[in-house]
Structure 1
Amino acid sequence: MSSITTRRFLQTAATLVGGLVLAACSKQEPAQTASPAPAAPAAAPAAKVYVVGTDAAYAPFESQNEKGEIVGFDIDVVKAVALKAGIEVKFVNTPWEGIFNALTQGDRDLLVSSITITDERKQTLDFSSPYFDAKQLIAVKGDSKIAKFADLAKLKVGVQTGTTGDEVVTKLQGKESANVKRFESTPLALKELEAGGVDAVVADNGVVIHYVANNTGSKFKTVSDTSFAAEQYGIAVKKGNADLLAKINKGLADIKADGTYDKIFASYFGATAAAPAAAASK
Structure 2
Amino acid sequence: MPSITTRHFLQSAGTLLAGLVLVACGKQEPPAPASTAAAPAASAPAPAAKVYVVGTDAAYAPFESQNEKGEIVGFDIDVVKAVAQKAGMEVKFVNTPWEGIFNTLAQGDRDFLVSAITITDERKQTMDFSSPYFDAQQLMAVKKDSKIAKFDDLKKLKVGVQNGTTGDEVVTKLQGKDSTNIKRFESTPLALKELEAGGVDAVVADNGVVVHYVANNPTSNFKTLADSSFAAEQYGLAVKKGNADLLAKLNKGLADIKSDGTYNTIYTSYFGTAPGAVAAAPAPAASK
Q: Same fold (TM over 0.5)?
A: yes
Q: CA deviation at 1:126?
A: 0.6
Aligned residue type for 2:117: I
Counterpart CA distance in 2 for 1:194 and 1:251 is 40
Q: CA deviation at 1:168?
A: 0.2
1:63 aligned partner: 65
Q: CA deviation at 1:34?
A: 7.2
Q: CA deviation at 1:33?
A: 7.5
The structure 2 residue matched to 1:122, chosen from 121, 124, 136, is: 124
Q: Secondary structure at the match of 2:224?
A: strand
Q: Secondary structure at the match of 2:41?
A: coil
Counterpart CA distance in 2 for 1:85 and 1:196 is 47
- The answer to which of 110-119 and 32-41 deviates more is 32-41
| Counterpart check, 1:214 vs 2:216 | yes
1:89 aligned partner: 91
Q: CA deviation at 1:281?
A: 3.1
1:79 aligned partner: 81
In structure 2, the gaps of 5 or more residues are: 1-33, 279-285
Counterpart CA distance in 2 for 1:89 and 1:131 is 18
Counterpart CA distance in 1 for 2:37 and 2:156 is 88
For residues 129-151 of structure 1, the C-alpha deviation after alignment (integer angstroms, 9 at most, x for no partner) is 00000000000001000000000
For residues 136-170 of structure 1, the C-alpha deviation after alignment (integer angstroms, 9 at most, x for no partner) is 00000010000000000110000000000000000
Scaled by the length of structure 1, the TM-score of the pair is 0.86
Q: CA deviation at 1:218?
A: 0.8
Aligned residue type for 2:89: I
The structure 2 residue matched to 1:281, chosen from 262, 267, 287, is: 287
| Counterpart check, 1:154 vs 2:156 | yes
Counterpart CA distance in 2 for 1:97 and 1:80 is 27
Q: Secondary structure at the match of 1:229?
A: coil
Within 5 A, what are the aligned runs for 1:247-266?
247-266=249-268
Q: CA deviation at 1:35?
A: 6.2
2:240 aligned partner: 238
Counterpart CA distance in 2 for 1:269 and 1:96 is 23
For residues 31-86 of structure 1, the C-alpha deviation after alignment (integer angstroms, 9 at most, x for no partner) is x9876343122101100100100000000000000110000000000000000000
Aligned residue type for 2:101: I
Q: CA deviation at 1:229?
A: 0.2
| Counterpart check, 1:176 vs 2:178 | yes
Aligned residue type for 1:188: L
Q: Secondary structure at the match of 1:194?
A: helix
2:7 aligned partner: none
For residues 85-140 of structure 1, the C-alpha deviation after alignment (integer angstroms, 9 at most, x for no partner) is 00000001000001000111111111000000000000111100000000000000
Q: CA deviation at 1:273?
A: 1.2
1:229 aligned partner: 231
Aligned residue type for 2:66: Q
For residues 189-237 of structure 1, the C-alpha deviation after alignment (integer angstroms, 9 at most, x for no partner) is 0000011110000000110000001111110001100110000000001
Counterpart CA distance in 1 for 2:277 and 2:126 is 32
2:188 aligned partner: 186
What is the RMSD of the two structures over their aligned residues, measured on CA atoms?
1.7
Aligned residue type for 2:91: V
Aligned residue type for 2:287: S
Q: Secondary structure at the match of 2:104?
A: helix
In structure 1, the gaps of 5 or more residues are: 1-31
Aligned residue type for 1:49: V
- The answer to which of 75-84 and 40-49 deviates more is 40-49
Percent identity between matched residues is 83
Counterpart CA distance in 1 for 2:287 and 2:149 is 22
Counterpart CA distance in 2 for 1:69 and 1:163 is 24
The number of aligned residues is: 249
Moved over 4 A (4+): 32-35
The structure 1 residue matched to 2:200, chosen from 180, 198, 201, is: 198
Counterpart CA distance in 1 for 2:215 and 2:134 is 21
Q: Secondary structure at the match of 1:90?
A: strand
